[in-house]
Amino acid sequence: MAAGVTPPRAPPDGPLHALEVLEFFRVLELVSEEAMGPAGAAAVRALRPLADPSEATRTLRAVDELRALAAGPDGWRLGPVPDLAGALRRLQAEGATLDAETLIACATACATARAARGLQGRLDPHGAARAWFEPLWGDADLEARIGRTFDESGGVSDDASPELRRIRR
């Protein structure tokens, strides 16, 4: 288990007890170590068994479809997925702004989401996994603008605007 992560405890014969016996939470922890970032790892650790058999079947089909895609000749691996939950909470306040590091993380998240959406064409149009990609959004223009505005260290780049480039020269 990750530091500070303790699975819920239940009396013997309860549903949580069955999960403990099956080492469900240990498996989730192992899977979370393969996540592409802290937000993904937390989402994996928060998973619980599905109560609806048809939903569980649909989910397993989607996982099988994605696993087959990853194992195929072209394979695929998405880039990092930064945790933007704190930034999104901050943006709920009127007049809120984001620092350079967070904006760069937003550009990274947009790029990863666009790459994931690009996988849709390689999925079965009627398959279960396709719906997982529908809510993803990425904006290439926003990514490029952030990339032009900030350098690798988070400083404002000379290319942020023609006027800034002129002034700095």
**Which residues in the chain come in under a pLDDT of 50?**
none
- Output the pLDDT for position 151: 87
With 0-12 CB in 10 A as exposed, 13-18 as middle and 19+ as buried, what is 7?
A: middle
- Describe the crossing of helices 38-45 and 24-32 by its angle, rounded to 10 degrees: 170
Residue 76: helix, strand or coil by DSSP?
Answer: coil
Per-residue pLDDT reduced to its tens digit, 25-64: 999 999 999 888 888 899 999 999 998 999 999 999 999 9
pTM here? 0.72
Question: According to the model, what pLDDT value does residue 44 have?
Answer: 93
The pLDDT assigned to 4 comes to 55
Give the model's pLDDT for residue 70. 86
